[in-house]
């Protein structure tokens, strides 16, 4: 199942849980008061977190552990499963999925979380495209939060196993882009009241589940650091940086070391409009000698802007735009510009409507195809809470790619209907 559809279909059941999870993610961004305030990592924050955990809906309580189980069954029609310009293949796909969310307050200050979605895809007309393994939904994770005075330590393992090729900008003429991705590491937040420092280390693993893309198998060591300073009651700014060593199992794509560093700013423009912007320098140095025949390095800038707008209690929207370089599938890297808009409407009781629009413009650094790519599209999702235990979802998604290389354009329409039962 498409992950966006999966998320929105479950939303009416999980609004309180999602709001709580969003609060945890945004905590580092909500440090705007000039006066002395309770530490984001201290006992007061841990206690507030514990009280919020107790409000999360659940359908099984095993001692202190709260579980929420659900099953989703979906059917999708896809008019171009192989992302082809000619000889397109269409199919009907059955997508069952089992979801579990669990949270365990081990102590008053320490919390263990598990989020897991397991699924499968059956293609009625092209059984050779059936899922190679059980799919693991993006967002699946095992995480442990520890609060020690002014420190918040997060140990995590985030994993997914997906097959859909439309998630990768560079791909065309592909049905199965199976890949397992795992990110395991630690982040430490140190709250100094007027300043918040965050350190992180992650080990990233990519394993292709198909021989065609086994040349993408790789590992990466990732270091991150950010420093945030509260400038006023509504505005803060700081510095963010990262260093990544990326190394492949096979000598086709080139190993690389990348660095980014730059300032960022966050500000509450109005009570309903929030802005986050960042820009800086990005350097990626690649080894040479790989079979991809690309010797280019990336020596460029990155930039990102996010506008979050809450029109009223029922309608919200976000607008994101950016420029960056990312590792390529057929080249050393792709220089990418993008614009994305999302909106949600909860204006009818038990109904959630969401829309997505995007535009991407990418240039390969060289390599197999050395494409200039433009890709755009959007989606419309409707979720209806039929009963306290049953949610229905309907989604339409359109994607179009235009390439300056022959036979690499495509158009794809997808319509999906699913039902989720929460125990």
Taking alpha carbons only, the member of 423, 418, 343 closest to residue 384 is 418
What pLDDT score was predicted for residue 35? 38
Alpha carbon distance 66, 256 (integer Å): 43
Among the residue ranges 13-17, 98-102, 251-255, the one predicted with the least confidence is: 13-17
Mean pLDDT for 25-52 is: 46
**Cα separations in angstroms, 135 against 247, 368, 413:** 25, 29, 22
Which two structure tokens, joined as six digits, stand for 181?
A: 């991705």
Q: Is the per-residue pLDDT at 203 higher than 60?
A: yes
What pLDDT score was predicted for residue 39? 54
Q: Write down how long the chain is.
A: 423
CB atoms within 10 A of CB 161: 22
Q: Is the per-residue pLDDT at 20 higher than 50?
A: no
CA geometry: angle at 30 spanning 25 and 33, to 5°?
A: 160
Q: Is the per-residue pLDDT at 50 higher than 70?
A: no
Query: Tens digits of per-residue pLDDT, 149-168?
Result: 899 999 999 999 999 999 99
pLDDT tier, 36 (very low <50, low <70, confident <90, very high otherwise): very low
Taking alpha carbons only, the member of 40, 397, 348, 382 closest to residue 193 is 40
Q: Is the per-residue pLDDT at 21 higher than 60?
A: no
In terms of C-beta distances under 8 Å and separation of at least 24 residues, what long-range contacts does 279-284 make, across chains too?
279/303, 279/304, 280/240, 282/258, 282/324, 282/325, 283/258, 283/259, 284/256, 284/257, 284/258, 284/259, 284/325, 284/332, 284/333
Mean pLDDT for 403-413 is: 97
77 alpha-carbon distance from chain centroid: 24
Please give the sequence-ordered ranges of beta strands (E in DSSP) within 15-90, or none if there are none: 60-62, 65-78
- In DSSP terms, 280 is beta-bridged to 302
Mean pLDDT for 390-401 is: 98
Query: Tens digits of per-residue pLDDT, 272-287?
Result: 999 999 999 999 999 9
Mean pLDDT for 37-58 is: 56
- In DSSP terms, 203 is beta-bridged to 184, 221
CB atoms within 10 A of CB 80: 18
Mean pLDDT for 312-321 is: 95
Report yes or no: 278 and 240 within 8 Å, Cβ to Cβ.
Answer: yes
Report the chain's mean pLDDT, rounded to a whole number. Answer: 88
Taking alpha carbons only, the member of 339, 340, 344 closest to residue 381 is 344
What pLDDT score was predicted for residue 1? 37
Q: How many CA atoms lie within 13 A of 267 on its CB side?
A: 11
Mean pLDDT for 19-29 is: 35
Q: Is the per-residue pLDDT at 141 higher than 60?
A: yes
Report yes or no: 341 and 360 within 8 Å, Cβ to Cβ.
Answer: no
pLDDT tier, 375 (very low <50, low <70, confident <90, very high otherwise): very high
**Structural domains of the chain, with CATH:** 3-422 (2.40.160)
Alpha carbon distance 257, 409 (integer Å): 32
List phi, psi (to 5°) of 236. -145, 160
What pLDDT score was predicted for residue 247? 97
Does the predicted model carry a pTM greater than 0.95? no
Query: Tens digits of per-residue pLDDT, 213-271?
Result: 999 999 999 999 999 999 998 999 999 999 999 999 999 999 999 999 999 999 999 99
What pLDDT score was predicted for residue 15? 35
């Amino acid at each position: 199942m498409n992950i966006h559809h999966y998320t929105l279909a479950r939303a009416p059941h999980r609004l309180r849980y999602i709001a709580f999870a969003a609060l945890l993610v945004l905590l580092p961004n909500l440090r705007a008061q000039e006066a002395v305030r309770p530490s984001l990592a201290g006992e007061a924050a841990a206690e507030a977190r514990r009280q919020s955990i107790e409000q999360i809906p659940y359908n099984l309580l095993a001692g202190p552990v709260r579980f929420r189980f659900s099953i989703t069954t979906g059917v999708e029609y896809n008019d171009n499963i192989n992302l082809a310009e000619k000889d397109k293949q269409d199919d009907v796909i059955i997508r069952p999925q089992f979801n579990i969310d669990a949270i365990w307050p081990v102590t008053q200050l320490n919390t263990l979380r598990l989020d897991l979605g397991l699924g499968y895809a059956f293609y009625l007309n092209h059984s050779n495209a059936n899922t190679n393994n059980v799919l693991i939904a993006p967002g699946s994770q095992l995480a442990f939060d520890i609060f020690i005075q002014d420190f918040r330590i997060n140990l995590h393992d985030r994993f997914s196993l997906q097959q859909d090729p439309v998630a990768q900008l560079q791909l065309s003429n592909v049905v199965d882009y199976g890949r397992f991705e795992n990110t395991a590491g630690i982040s430490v937040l140190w709250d100094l009241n007027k300043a918040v420092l965050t350190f992180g280390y992650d080990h990233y693993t990519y394993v292709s589940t198909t021989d065609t893309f086994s040349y993408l198998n790789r590992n990466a060591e990732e270091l991150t650091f950010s420093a945030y300073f509260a400038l006023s009651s509504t505005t803060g700014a700081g510095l963010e940086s990262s260093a990544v060593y990326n190394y492949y199992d096979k000598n086709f794509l080139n190993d690389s070391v990348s660095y980014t560093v730059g300032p960022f700013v966050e500000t509450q423009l109005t009570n309903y409009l929030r802005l986050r912007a960042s820009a800086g320098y990005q350097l990626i140095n690649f080894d040479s000698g790989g079979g991809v025949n690309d010797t280019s390095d990336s020596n460029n800038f990155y930039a990102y802007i996010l506008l979050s707008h809450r029109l009223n209690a029922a309608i919200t929207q976000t607008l994101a735009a950016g420029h960056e370089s990312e590792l390529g599938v057929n080249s050393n890297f792709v220089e990418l510009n993008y614009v994305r808009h999302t909106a949600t409407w909860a204006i009818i009781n038990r109904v959630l409507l969401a829309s997505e629009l995007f535009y991407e413009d990418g240039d390969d650094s060289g390599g197999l195809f050395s494409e200039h790519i433009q890709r755009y599209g959007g989606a419309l999702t409707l979720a209806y809470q039929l009963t306290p235990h049953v949610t229905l979802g309907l989604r339409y998604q359109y994607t179009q790619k235009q390439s300056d290389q022959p036979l690499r354009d495509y158009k794809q329409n997808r319509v999906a209907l699913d039902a989720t039962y929460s125990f």
